Chain A
Amino acid sequence: MLVVQEVHRVKGASVEEFESTTQQFWKAAAPLGVTPAWFFEVSHGTGPSYCVTTGLRLADWSAWEDYARSVAYGELSAVTEELDATRYDTESSVLEVLSEVPPAADAASPGLWVQRFIPPDAGGQTAIGQPGLVMRGCVGGSPDGISILSKESPAAVLDILTGESDTSDVLGKAESTWVLRPSSWSPLQ
C-alpha cells in the first residue's frame, strides 16, 4: 500500500473552493483505484497558515504511475488545474505503508493527528506495529526516512510540543513533528 501525501499552500481567500475542488478531485480519481485517506489542516500555533495536508491511498507502484500520468498529462489534469488556482503550490511525496494499527478504542475524540519524521537510518523501523501508520519515504519529501502518523489528544500534543512527553523511544528521534487537525469530512478522523 502506498500513500501520496501532499502539503498544499492554499490561498487564504480560496479555502472553501480548495476544499470543494479537492472533493471533486477525489471523485475523479476514484476510477483509477485511488482512495481518499485524509484531509488535515496544520493546527494553529504549530506552523504556516492555510497549510493543508492530504493523503491518497494507492494499491501499488503501477497504480501510482497511472495516477501520476493522469494528473500530469491526462484525465485528471483539468481538475488539478482547478486545484492549482486555489493554492500557491504543493509539495508531494510517495510513502510506503509499513504498518497500520487503528487507534485504541479510547483514543481521544475529537483528536489531533501527529506526524513525526525520523531521518534515514535512525531506527525508525522499530516503530512498525505501533498505533497509527508507519510509513517509509520513497520519493519527494524525506526519501528513505520513516514517518509515523498517530492520533493524540490535544493535551498529549501540548506535552509533545513542550518536551514533556517521553522521548526515550523511537518517537524521540523525530527531526520534525507536524500537528494536524482533521476536517469534518476527512476519512481519517
Chain B
Amino acid sequence: MILLHETFQIVHGGLDEFEEAYWNEVAPKVRAIDGIEPLWFLRQRTGIEGEFAIALTALRSGEDLGTYTRWISGSEGAAWRARSQGLTHAFQRKVLLAAPWSPFNEWDELATALESRGNGRRIFMEDTGWPYVSVADYVDFQRREYWEPLQKWASSGAAVVKLWGFFLVAPGSGHRPEAIFLQEVMSDSALERLIGEPEVYDPDTFPGSYMVQGLTYRDQWRSRLMEAELQSKVR
C-alpha cells in the first residue's frame, strides 16, 4: 500500500466550499475505482499557513497511483481541477511509503482506518522532519526511540497519541530527506499541555529522552494540527 498526500493551500475563506467540493466531486468518484480509497480530509482553519487541507488517499499499488494520476489529470478530473484551481493558491502532490515497522504497509490494514470513528472532533498531528544524518539511521531512531516506547504507552492505556504511520516521501514525489509522522491526538488535555508548557525535557525519561536524542538527527521539523472530518461523512 502507498499513501497519496495532497496538500491544498486554500484562498482565505474558501475552506468550507473546497471541502464540500472534495466530498461531492472527487471522493465518491475515485472511491469507485478499485484500489483507490480516500481516507481522511485533514483541515486547518487558521494558523501560520492560513487555510489549508490535506487529502490522504490509500492506493493499493504503484499501478493504482498511475490510474489515479491519469484520472485526475484527464477529462474525468477536469471539473474538479477547475473548481480546485479557483479555490487554491498552491498545491502539492506527494507519495508516502511506510517504514517496514510502521502501520500502512499492507492493503488489508486499511480496515482499521476505515472502521475508526471519532466521537465528535478528531485532531490529527502531522510532524514532518528533515534529518541531517543518514536517512536509514533516522528511520531506525524513530522506531527505537519513539515508535516502540509509544507502543508500551499504548499497551498500558496511557497513550495520548495514536501513531497512524511513519513514512518517507517516495522517490519521485518530492523532497529528500523528508519523513512524516501521522498521529491522532487522543487527549485534549495532553494537547493543551503540549501547546502551553515550556519545552523542558528530561533526557532520561520518554518522551524527553526522545526529544533530546532527536537533536543529533535533526533540529528542523514542522508540526501541523489538523481537524479530521468524521468517517461518517467520508463513507
Q: Which residues of A contact B (CB under 8 A)?
A: 4, 60-69, 71-73, 77-78, 80-81, 84, 89-94, 96, 120-121, 136, 138-140, 143-144
Give the distance in Å from the alpha carbon of A26 to the alpha carbon of B136 in the complex: 20
Whether B93 sits at the interface, judged by CB under 8 Å, is yes
- Pick from A63, A72, A120, A121: contact of B171, CB under 8 Å: A72
Give the interface segment out of B9-17, B62-70, B184-192.
B62-70
Whether B224 sits at the interface, judged by CB under 8 Å, is no
Residue of A nearest to B134 (CB): A81
Q: Which residues of A contact B177 (CB under 8 A)?
A: 84, 89
A-B residue pairs in contact (CB < 8 Å), sample of 30: A4-B172, A60-B63, A61-B62, A61-B66, A62-B61, A62-B62, A64-B65, A65-B2, A65-B65, A67-B171, A68-B62, A68-B95, A68-B173, A71-B171, A72-B170, A72-B171, A77-B135, A81-B136, A84-B135, A89-B130, A92-B171, A92-B172, A96-B69, A138-B66, A139-B4, A139-B170, A139-B173, A140-B94, A143-B92, A143-B93
Q: Is the interface of B mostly helix, strand, loop or mixed?
A: mixed
Residue of A nearest to B72 (CB): A144
Residue of B nearest to A65 (CB): B62
Whether B85 sits at the interface, judged by CB under 8 Å, is yes
Q: Which residues of B contact A80 (CB under 8 A)?
A: 135, 171
Give the distance in Å from the alpha carbon of A140 to the alpha carbon of B92 in the complex: 7
- Pick from A4, A73, A139: contact of B100, CB under 8 Å: A73
**Given the known A-B contacts A4-B171, A72-B170, are A121 and B93 also in contact in the complex, defined by CB atoms under 8 Å?**
no
Give the distance in Å from the alpha carbon of A55 to the alpha carbon of B96 in the complex: 21
**Given the known A-B contacts A120-B85, A139-B94, are A68 and B73 also in contact in the complex, defined by CB atoms under 8 Å?**
no
B: interface residue count bin: 35 or more
Residue of B nearest to A93 (CB): B172
- Apart from A60-B66, A61-B62, A62-B62, list 16 A-B contacts with CB within 8 A: A60-B63, A61-B63, A63-B62, A68-B172, A73-B97, A84-B176, A84-B177, A90-B176, A91-B174, A91-B175, A92-B173, A93-B173, A94-B173, A96-B66, A139-B69, A144-B73
Give the distance in Å from the alpha carbon of A80 to the alpha carbon of B171 in the complex: 10
Residue of B nearest to A87 (CB): B176
Give the distance in Å from the alpha carbon of A146 to the alpha carbon of B23 in the complex: 27
**Given the known A-B contacts A92-B173, A120-B81, A140-B172, are A68 and B97 also in contact in the complex, defined by CB atoms under 8 Å?**
yes
B73 and A120 contact, CB distance less than 8 A: yes
Q: Which of A65, A77, A78, A121 has the most CB of B within 10 A?
A: A65
B135 and A61 contact, CB distance less than 8 A: no
